Structure 1
Amino acid sequence: MLVRRPAFALQHHCALWHVPFTVTAHISTQDAEGSWSYESQLDVRDEQQDGERVVWKPSVIHPELADHDGYTLKAVPTAPKTAVLSREGTVLNERDQPGLSQVIDQLEARHATRAGTPALDVRITPQFGDGESTTLAHVVKSKPGAIRTTIDPALQRAAESAVVQSSRASVVAVQPSTGEILAVANSAKGEMNPALEDVEAPGSVFEIVTSAALLEQRTVSPTTVMDRVSAAIGRGEVRLNVLNLASITATVKSGTFKQPLLVTADLVGADQTQAERPLSGRVAQQLRAIMNHNASQGTGAEVMAGSSGAFGSMAGLADQGTGQAAHGWFTAFNGDAAVASIAPSSGEGVANAGFITRAVLDADRRTHTPGSQSPPS
């Protein structure tokens, strides 16, 4: 709203009538709304002068408007202060959970207005010059909100501790029965969250996906499928991030894809992605058998030693070219937890990634017998 001062001179010998009035306005923005009411006064001359009886000045609009050339009047919503909480209600912050620093910022930006009540202020800014904005009224007071995430504090602590053993390592834990993300951690710091946003060639850990495709076609059996996947093990144009692999592993464990969630379902609403169809019971069972064999007698046996119950794993290397150390991947499930990790260019095969994955599994109360893995020396 723009208020301008008309050009006129006030004659002091003219009597003025002071007419008080009340202004009430309903103010609405996309994020907040409320009512604003205040008292003002209109001065009227007892005789017409220069064609005007009303003494017009900015203070008629609001008493705080001074005698300047013009103003811009705006209703300004302000996002509420928001606490990001774990699934248990404890506060998550960038100092104690550095692996969630980008996640916390993104959640606050995306869900703050839904978690709390934004403030709504009316402000004026001089139209000309460099004058600062002045708040005329606080129409709606901000109500702090809380965004409850799916992060499990125990798993997050374990994930943060495990990734520091290897440079550029990342790990994600997912609950297969719900799709909820239980932990996210990265040893590398920066604006991007590698575990959720970066992509790398998955190498032989992609055998989970190629095996599923072949088993669906009924052209192989669980005992012969690994002979057929050697030509398609995740090289070339195939790229995954750690969350993708954790979600794939969770799907094998539960038999149904569940949209990975970082916040409670009430904040996500109907935006969740649904799978066109679940894995057939036959294929899901065969994939779990393949991964259990890997964890018991294959490349994951050393890492998964001491596990009990329904568990399985898949380990893989992704070559990076001549003279470069391969990326090590390791993913596993046990109980109602699926964990995937990557240790890029670690030079330790799957050992580093395996240690990270097992450390997070052992911290989860949903799993069975903890192991005693140590990081590779």
Structure 2
Amino acid sequence: MRKGAKAAIVGTVFAVMVGGAGYGAYNVVTAISGDGGGSGAAGSSVTKKTGPVSKDEVKDTTGKFFAAWEKDQPAAAAGYTNFPEAAEKLLTAYGTDAHITHVKIRTHTIIGATVSYAVEAKVSYDGKSKPLAYDSELNIVRGNSNGAPLVDWQPSVVHPDLRRDDTLFTGEAASPPIEAVDRDGVVLTKEKYPSLGPILDQLRDKYGDTAGGTPGIELAIRRAAESAPDTTLVTLAKGRAGKLRTTLSASAQAAAEKAVTEYDESSVVAVKPSTGEVLAVANHRTDGFNAAFQGTLAPGSTMKIITSAMLIDNGVASMSGPAPCPETATWQSQTFHNLTNMRPNEGATLANSFARSCNTAFVKLIDGTKAHPLNDASLTDEAQERFGLGQNNWKTGIASFDGKVPASGGPNRAANAIGQGDVQMNPLNMASVTATAITGTFHQPVIVSRKLDDRQLATARGLSANTVAQLKSMMRLTATSGTASQVMAGLGGDIGAKTGSAEVDGHAKSNSWFAGYRNDIAAAAMTEEGGHGGDAAGPIVAAVLRTGG
């Protein structure tokens, strides 16, 4: 099925959508009881069963559910679930729209009420067939009305990659396949570079029609969101791939992939400061989300790169000028502290406070001076006009978030300056910030050339040579004798860095952030609950910087 027809099929697949409007309506109107309703449902009784489901109930219910599913009896199978209308739609689509037959289900383990199992089947379409195999799991719960044991219905019961309102479909692919290559022509595959899987799907969805290929026949998950690309599960007939050149570097990507696997919930991006080209993007997350490009988290003290630029550009401070670092600082009735065990330094310069990552020094300067006052919008203006952030106009080639630096009043004005409060960033944003800081020129990051589709890239004024010189000096000081020195040790050439840790409500450990550069490569990383900047994010960035620049 061609991409242009995606919207047109909504009416025809409505009846088999995973959940969909029917699922929502059923939840609200019909399923108040949360009990199965089909002919195969467990029988009702006058006395409502209570307590945990027994092992026998789990085995009996799953056995009957699996048997009906294997026999292609969607109504009967759905009757063993707590939301039979939604279940029947998807189980029907499994055989009709997805053309999946010869289903065999084998139970792996039963732990309490959770059952893991393997599905083996065949996908057949237009005279072509391929095997399908995958693992999934389900839970058995008691129905609300009579307490009968039922399958707790989720789309993932049918396939682990299905989410609400997704559909299964077998036919002509929505987009032709692509052969993505790096900047030097090296082929990039999701098998060799796992982080690129979702990104390659996006690139195929957006550029497959113009890359010169022809579509194949495949079983795919068609996502509910119109902007989300299909996820191919089985290819029955290969199409002809069109070649798509990216800005990525295979060597930098390999280093990024390896580095993020050392830390859970980690993401990293590397860019080429002289052009804005993305050299690497990698994520190591349980949810598969491209947090490197689309994350929206407080960046901690890496934000002080922008804050320092604001102070310098507005004449409030200079790298060699005073920026005292007291133990605490109060702004709008809120008291701010430094990292534990940081010794106060009332004689500190801006460069010293930057290199040590002293929060209180920046809070003390947030109001500016009498001659050079600052206001709630000063940091916002700096971020937007100089660094190109927060205007929702980046066109990288795939989905991305452009950062957010709002004009905040009250305590959050000071919190924003140290990367907390209302500020939101991701590694892509902070890699770009680093690139702008060391070149003075904002190059909107891209993962494919703008010449591919003539899209309009974002622009910004950039920084003066004077500001760049001071920022580079402060970042080099941080990398050689400040909070980033241990991580950056052994890296030669023109180097600099900034560490960051961002506190998150309800989390015992802060998120770890790190931004750094080496020659013509700038990188930024984030590790959720990774601690200080040098603990987790720092080693990831350093690994990428070692690949060249």
Q: TM-score band, normalised by the shorter chain?
A: 0.5 to 0.7
TM-score (norm 2): 0.47
For 1:113, the aligned partner's letter is D
SS at match of 1:351: coil
For 1:292, the aligned partner's letter is R
Structure-to-structure mapping, 1:283-298, within 5 angstroms: 283-298=467-482
1:234 Cα deviation after fit: 1.0
SS at match of 2:195: helix
Structure-to-structure mapping, 1:67-146, within 5 angstroms: 79-116=175-212, 144-146=241-243
Q: 1:268 to 1:215 in 2, by over 3 A?
A: farther
- Relative to its length, the structure with more helix (as a share) is 2
SS at match of 2:504: coil
Which whole-Å deviations, capped at 9, do the CAs of 1:294-332 have from their partners, x for residues lacking one? 111110111111233221000011112465101111110
1:241 Cα deviation after fit: 0.6
- Equivalents in 2 of 1:90, 1:168: separation in Å? 28
Q: 1:349 to 1:83 in 2, by over 3 A?
A: closer
CA contact (8 A) 1:317 1:350 kept: no
- Residue 284 of structure 2, aligned match among 187, 196, 211: 187
Equivalent residue for 2:422?
237
For 1:325, the aligned partner's letter is K
Query: Hey, which bits of structure 1, 4+ residues long, moved more than 2 A?
Result: 76-81, 189-192, 223-228, 306-309, 347-350
CA contact (8 A) 1:242 1:342 kept: yes
SS at match of 2:437: helix
Q: Given the alignment of the two structures, is residue 255 of structure 1 paired with residue 440 of structure 2, yes or no?
A: yes
- Relative to its length, the structure with more strand (as a share) is 1
Which whole-Å deviations, capped at 9, do the CAs of 1:223-261 have from their partners, x for residues lacking one? 333464244201111010110000100111221010101
Structure-to-structure mapping, 1:5-84, within 5 angstroms: 79-84=175-180
Equivalent residue for 1:356?
540
For 2:501, the aligned partner's letter is L
> Structure 1: any 5+ residue segments left out of the alignment?
1-28, 32-75, 120-141, 367-377
Which whole-Å deviations, capped at 9, do the CAs of 1:41-82 have from their partners, x for residues lacking one? xxxxxxxxxxxxxxxxxxxxxxxxxxxxxxxxxxx9974332
Identity %: 37
- Equivalents in 1 of 2:174, 2:258: separation in Å? 37
For 2:247, the aligned partner's letter is T
Q: 1:347 to 1:214 in 2, by over 3 A?
A: closer
Which whole-Å deviations, capped at 9, do the CAs of 1:248-298 have from their partners, x for residues lacking one? 0011122101010101232142421122x1211111111111101111111
Aligned residues: 271
- Residue 173 of structure 1, aligned match among 263, 267, 270: 270
- Equivalents in 2 of 1:30, 1:103: separation in Å? 21
- Equivalents in 1 of 2:362, 2:532: separation in Å? 24
1:344 Cα deviation after fit: 1.2
- Residue 252 of structure 2, aligned match among 155, 160, 163: 155
SS at match of 2:279: strand
- Equivalents in 2 of 1:303, 1:216: separation in Å? 30
Who wins on radius of gyration, i.e. which is larger?
Answer: 1
CA contact (8 A) 2:177 2:213 kept: no
For 1:307, the aligned partner's letter is L
SS at match of 1:263: coil
- Residue 345 of structure 1, aligned match among 529, 537, 542: 529
> Structure 2: any 5+ residue segments left out of the alignment?
6-171, 216-238, 323-349, 354-359, 364-413
For 2:362, the aligned partner's letter is V
CA contact (8 A) 1:77 1:118 kept: no
TM-score (norm 1): 0.67
- Equivalents in 1 of 2:504, 2:213: separation in Å? 50
Q: Given the alignment of the two structures, is residue 203 of structure 1 paired with residue 336 of structure 2, yes or no?
A: no
